[in-house]
């Protein structure tokens, strides 16, 4: 099983849905709150080519999915 | 064997700490779990003393680079016999929140695979993945797992099963996936002749469309009737066979480029057209497509959204198709194969039938980019059953909406879910669909009927009201129609306490006093309720709500109050005999009802300008009037005075009749009428806001689908400091009523007496 990372935020309903979906499927993952965590936000930007949409799902350092079912929230800030 | 609980504080969340703990525990053959708590990371370990000791040492010696541990608290606890180490999510639940995704258009990745000869799903019309495809239209019940969808009859083959089980795959637990070797397919039926196989049937369909035939095509939420939009004979044949005389047909353009050729796409319209809901977008027509939208200068266009649509265009279907809901006029869309074959056998030449069953009928959504932002005219596929907003209530509420353009709303756990467009409950099949939708939504979300608060319209004879009386519930209450309209705008924004001036202009709704309302102004908030403070001057309406079909009937009621009228039975008015019959009814007080309906005022004006026949669909006369006004560029406005309580229509209609009898062009008269309505309303809004110290006005109700009226209001009101709020998530027409009912119910703002009380 690859190592999964979920970049999202606490207030984003799409992040919530992706989180619940992963949990329901029994996938282990680490979640980063990119609104509270500057370092995570930088890493998400670097991995996903500078885009601003969350959630972003990363497997073994590679982006596998941006947004949840075609929808997402925009993260502001540098 | 011993156990301990460790609390780690510092910067340990969001830095890969839990996977690090996970690997460390596994390496030391320890069982237990790790989770993010409120104050830091919490770890529980079970195993040999020595291993726990090593774990704690390594935890502090070599944590992940970004982690900064400030404190570690280790306590011994008694072991309970854990056999594995797991990462616990702090918000772990029994199952995902019961939200069902709306249906999604095919994504870029799947499209690429669809046309890649090397791909296993090359040209497979049911290709989809986690990011796209059917959702609401395949879900039978929750949780959303394959055995609970209409795909349960197709077991996955090895290839699909591998993707389904692989967490890094785009199709990991994508419930509706399939491929040509294990999934459903399409076939074409023409009479008794059947063409099997996806490729041959789709190719043949494209050929039939090119040849001017009408084909019923099974899509996501029902059947479409399709024909070449630029083949006038085919379009005419479709109108005749569908008994749909004048209501516009929706079009599907092959691509955004083709869409740009047929309608004027502003950046906002284009954004809507390509949005994830892929709705029908109404915009000004650039080319004439005879028969598509008779008498209108606008067209409704959507883009392909299923893999099948893309395949059809790729194999040569005409680049603009009529794609109208497969039904006969005013019936709900057909979604079951047998039903479609039976009801549409006299309409369609052939049927392109897909084997995947549709769980429930969902029509295409209709939107436009308006002066005050996006306007949803029909909220259905791509939007439903997405949560519109959340309410601060735990009580489950079911709001049954209004009888026209019905939608229902369910509030569960504070989430407000608004159903797909159901239709006109006066039509038997729509009423059945309404019953189905109620059962469907309530059982899907596992709501206990005995806890349910049911809200319905105040109208005692609405089919929805009558149905409410037969439903099990903890309580049943009514909410007045126009208050629900106003509340729907505030509910979308989550503004419970905002005190506003609410303007509700629509065709019809049952008022507090039992008369027909529709030109109402309120002051208040969702939390405190709405108090009616002004309205359109009352008129008589012979025939009551039935008058909506005959503009001349409304004219008879309104014009009886207007003095010095020219002879309306002669040219240019040429009112039919019905006009005098109706005025007789009014003067004798027979079957005449009192109304303050703004919709009927528009009907009366339309009648004076030449719409003296029966309307063939709801709101047609008002739409006709708007189109007429659009083609004039006069700048004058007729008087529509406001005295603090009433907007007086008499000068307005007198001037319409006078100018028309003097031979002024109908287009200019229509324009001056519309501008007059806007200026009069704007003056009333400004005066009432000032008198009541209010800074925001809310506009809702079917009349505000009139884009020209909104443009005029905008240009008059933009110089004031007033904020104008309109609907963006639910329709301003009666499709938004269910949301407004639910909002007022969540705050206990029901009508002061129930229908039962009033009729006791």
Pick from B14, B66, B143: which is nearest to A33 by CB?
B14
Q: For A13-77, give the DSSP string.
A: HHHHHHHHHHHHTT--EEEEETTT-HHHHHHHHHHTTS--EE-EEEETTEEEEESBTTB-EE---
CA atoms within 13 A on the CB side of B384: 32
Q: Give the Å distances, CA to CA, from B347 to B318, B327, B421.
A: 20, 9, 23
Tell me phi and psi for residue B678, to 5 degrees: -65, -45
CA dihedral of B633, B636, B641, B646, whole degrees rounded to 10: -10
Q: How far is B83 from chain A (nearest CA, A)?
A: 17
ipTM, 2 dp: 0.71
What is the pLDDT, as a whole number, of residue B11? Answer: 67
Which DSSP state fits B547? G
Q: How far is A29 from chain B (nearest CA, A)?
A: 8
- Estimate the crossing angle of helix B598-608 against helix B666-691, to 10 degrees: 160
Are B723 and B697 in contact by the 8 Å Cβ rule? The answer is yes
Are B606 and B620 in contact by the 8 Å Cβ rule? The answer is no
What is the pLDDT, as a whole number, of residue B14? Answer: 55
- The owner of tokens 């729509």 is B430
Q: How many angstroms separate the CA atoms of B353 and B656, rounded?
A: 53
Q: Where are the beta strands (DSSP E) in B136-255?
A: 186-190, 193-195, 215-218, 223-228, 250-253
Q: How many angstroms separate the CA atoms of B389 and B493, rounded?
A: 8
CB contact under 8 A, A70 and B18: no
Tell me phi and psi for residue B521, to 5 degrees: -130, 135
CB contact under 8 A, A30 and B19: yes
CB contact under 8 A, A21 and B173: yes
Buried b (16+ CB within 10 A) or exposed e, B280-296: bbbbebeeebebbbeeb
Beta bridge partners of B454: B398, B476
CA dihedral of B300, B357, B108, B199, whole degrees rounded to 10: -100
What is the pLDDT, as a whole number, of residue B93? Answer: 41
Q: For B43-95, give the DSSP string.
A: EEEEE-HHHHHHHHHHHHHS--TT-EEEEEEEEEE------SEEEEPTT--SS
**Residue B354, token pair as written in the block:** 């897909």
CB contact under 8 A, B276 and A21: no
Surface-to-core class of residue B234, CB atoms within 10 Å of its CB (0-12 exposed, 13-18 middle, 19+ buried): buried
Average pLDDT per block of 10 residues along chain B, 760 residues long: 85 67 88 76 90 89 74 86 76 54 92 97 96 92 85 95 87 92 96 96 98 96 96 95 87 98 97 95 95 92 98 98 84 81 92 95 96 96 90 94 97 92 92 94 89 96 95 95 98 96 96 95 97 97 87 95 92 92 92 94 97 90 95 92 97 97 96 98 98 98 97 94 96 98 96 50
Pick from A3, A59, A65: which is nearest to B131 by CB?
A65
The dihedral of CA B599, B600, B603, B608: what is its sign?
A: negative
Chain A touched by B143 (CB under 8 Å) = yes
Q: How many angstroms separate the CA atoms of B141 and B160, rounded?
A: 23
Range list of H helices, B471-611? 481-493, 551-559, 577-588, 598-608
Describe the strand order of the beta sheet including A29-33 as a list of residue ranges.
Answer: A29-33, A4-8, A56-59, A62-66
Q: How many angstroms separate the CA atoms of B450 and B452, rounded?
A: 6
Q: Which of A10, A21, A24, A29 to mutate to test the interface with B (most CBs of B within 10 A)?
A: A24
- The owner of tokens 């249906």 is B103
Q: For B602-671, give the DSSP string.
A: HHHHHHHTT--S--SSTTHHHHHHHHHHHT----------B-SSEE--HHHHHHHHHHHHTT--HHHHHH
Q: Please count the other Cβ atoms lying within 10 Å of the Cβ belonging to residue B222.
A: 24
pTM for this entry: 0.85
Which DSSP state fits B266? -
CB contact under 8 A, A17 and B168: no
- 3-state helix, strand, coil split of chain B in percent (to 5) is 35, 25, 45
Query: Which among B489, B519, B712, B676 is positioned nearest to B599, based on CA atoms?
Result: B519
What is the pLDDT, as a whole number, of residue B166? Answer: 85
Beta bridge partners of B642: B647
What is the pLDDT, as a whole number, of residue B84? Answer: 86
> Is the peptide bond between B475 and the residue preceding it cis, with omega within 30 degrees of 0?
no
Would you list which residues of chain A are within 8 Å, Cβ to Cβ, of chain B?
1-5, 13, 16-17, 19-21, 23-25, 27-33, 36-37, 39-40, 59-60, 64-65, 67, 69-71
Residues in B closer than 8 angstroms to A24, CB to CB, are: 95-96, 143
Q: How many angstroms separate the CA atoms of B700 and B482, rounded?
A: 8
Q: How many angstroms separate the CA atoms of B689 and B683, rounded?
A: 10
CB contact under 8 A, B143 and A20: no
CB contact under 8 A, A71 and B276: yes
Are B510 and B758 in contact by the 8 Å Cβ rule? The answer is no
Chain A nearest-CA residue for B96: A20
Residues 6+ apart with CB under 8 A from B551: B603, B604, B606, B607, B611, B612, B615, B621
Q: How many angstroms separate the CA atoms of B420 and B363, rounded?
A: 8
CB contact under 8 A, A31 and B16: no
Q: Which of B14, B33, B144, B413 to mutate to test the interface with A (most CBs of A within 10 A)?
A: B14
Q: How many angstroms separate the CA atoms of B484 and B150, rounded?
A: 36
Are B346 and B328 in contact by the 8 Å Cβ rule? The answer is no
């Amino acid at each position: 099983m690859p190592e999964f990372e979920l970049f999202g935020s606490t207030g984003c309903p799409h992040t919530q849905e992706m989180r619940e979906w992963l949990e329901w499927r029994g996938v282990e993952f680490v979640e980063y709150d990119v609104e509270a965590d500057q370092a995570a936000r930088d890493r998400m930007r670097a991995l996903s080519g500078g885009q601003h949409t969350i959630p972003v799902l990363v497997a073994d350092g590679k982006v596998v999915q941006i947004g949840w079912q075609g929808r997402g929230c925009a993260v502001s800030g540098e | 064997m011993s156990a301990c609980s460790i609390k780690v504080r510092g910067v340990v969340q969001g830095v890969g700490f839990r996977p690090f703990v996970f690997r460390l525990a596994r390496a030391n053959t320890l069982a237990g779990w790790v989770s993010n708590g409120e104050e830091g990371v919490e770890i529980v370990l079970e195993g040999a003393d020595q291993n726990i000791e090593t774990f704690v040492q390594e935890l502090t010696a070599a944590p992940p680079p970004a982690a900064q541990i400030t404190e570690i608290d280790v306590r011994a606890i008694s072991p309970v016999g854990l056999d594995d180490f797991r990462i616990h999510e702090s918000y772990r639940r029994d199952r995902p929140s019961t939200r069902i995704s709306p249906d999604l258009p095919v994504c870029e990745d799947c499209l690429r695979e669809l046309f890649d000869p090397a791909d296993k799903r090359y040209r497979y019309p049911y290709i989809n993945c986690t990011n796209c495809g059917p959702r609401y239209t395949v879900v039978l019940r929750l949780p959303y797992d394959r055995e609970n969808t209409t795909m349960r009859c197709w077991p996955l083959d090895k290839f699909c099963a591998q993707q389904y089980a692989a967490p890094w795959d785009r199709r990991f637990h994508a419930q509706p996936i399939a491929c040509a070797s294990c999934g459903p397919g399409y076939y074409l039926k023409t009479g008794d002749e059947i063409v099997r196989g996806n490729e041959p049937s789709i190719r043949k369909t494209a050929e039939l469309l090119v040849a001017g035939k009408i084909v019923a095509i099974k899509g996501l939420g029902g059947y479409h009737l399709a024909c070449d939009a630029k083949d006038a004979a085919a379009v005419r044949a479709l109108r005749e066979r569908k008994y749909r005389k004048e209501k516009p047909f929706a079009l599907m353009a092959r691509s955004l480029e083709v869409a740009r050729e047929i309608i004027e796409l502003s950046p906002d319209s284009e954004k809507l057209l390509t949005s994830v809901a892929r709705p029908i977008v109404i915009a000004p027509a650039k080319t004439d497509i005879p028969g598509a939208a008779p008498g209108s200068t606008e067209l409704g266009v959507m883009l392909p959204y299923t893999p099948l649509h893309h395949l059809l265009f790729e194999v040569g279907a005409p680049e603009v198709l009529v794609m109208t809901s497969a039904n006969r006029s005013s019936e709900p869309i057909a979604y079951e194969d047998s039903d479609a074959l039976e009801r549409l056998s006299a309409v369609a030449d052939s049927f392109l039938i897909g084997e995947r069953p549709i769980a429930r009928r969902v029509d295409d959504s209709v939107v436009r980019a308006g002066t005050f932002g996006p306007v949803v005219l029909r909220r259905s596929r791509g939007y439903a059953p997405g949560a519109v907003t959340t309410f601060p209530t735990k009580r489950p509420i079911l709001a049954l909406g209004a009888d026209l353009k019905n939608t229902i709303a369910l509030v569960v756990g504070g989430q407000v879910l608004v159903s797909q467009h159901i239709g006109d409950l006066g039509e038997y099949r729509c009423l059945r669909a309404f019953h189905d939708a109620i059962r469907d939504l309530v059982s899907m979300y596992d709501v206990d009927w005995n806890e349910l608060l049911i809200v319905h319209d105040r109208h005692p004879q609405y089919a929805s009201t009558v149905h409410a009386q037969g439903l099990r519930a903890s309580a049943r209450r009514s909410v007045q129609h126009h208050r629900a309209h106003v509340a729907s705008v505030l509910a979308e924004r989550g503004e419970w306490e905002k005190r506003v001036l609410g303007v509700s202009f629509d065709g019809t709704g049952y008022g507090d006093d039992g008369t027909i309302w529709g030109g109402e102004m309120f002051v208040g908030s969702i939390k405190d309720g709405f108090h009616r403070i002004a309205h359109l001057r009352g008129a008589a309406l012979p025939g009551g709500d039935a008058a909506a079909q005959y503009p001349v009937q409304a004219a008879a009621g309104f014009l009886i109050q207007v003095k010095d009228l020219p002879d309306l039975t002669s040219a240019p008015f040429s009112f039919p005999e019905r006009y005098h019959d109706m005025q007789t009814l009014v003067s004798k007080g027979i079957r005449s009802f009192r109304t303050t309906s703004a919709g009927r005022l528009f009907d009366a004006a339309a009648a004076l300008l030449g719409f003296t026949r029966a309307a063939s669909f709801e709101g047609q006369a008002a739409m006709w009037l708007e189109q007429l006004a659009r083609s004039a560029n006069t700048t004058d406005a007729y008087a529509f005075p406001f005295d603090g309580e009433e907007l007086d229509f008499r000068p307005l209609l007198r001037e319409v009749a006078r100018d028309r009898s003097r031979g002024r062009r109908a287009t200019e008269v229509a324009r001056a009428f519309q501008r007059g309505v806007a200026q009069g309303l704007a003056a009333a809004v400004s005066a009432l806001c000032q008198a009541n110290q209010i800074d925001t006005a809310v506009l809702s109700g079917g009349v505000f689908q009139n884009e020209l009226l909104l443009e005029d209001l905008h240009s008059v009101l933009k110089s004031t400091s007033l904020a104008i709020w309109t609907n963006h998530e639910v329709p301003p027409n009666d499709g938004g009523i269910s949301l407004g009912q639910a909002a007022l119910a969540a705050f206990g703002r029901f009508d002061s007496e129930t229908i039962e009380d009033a009729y006791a």
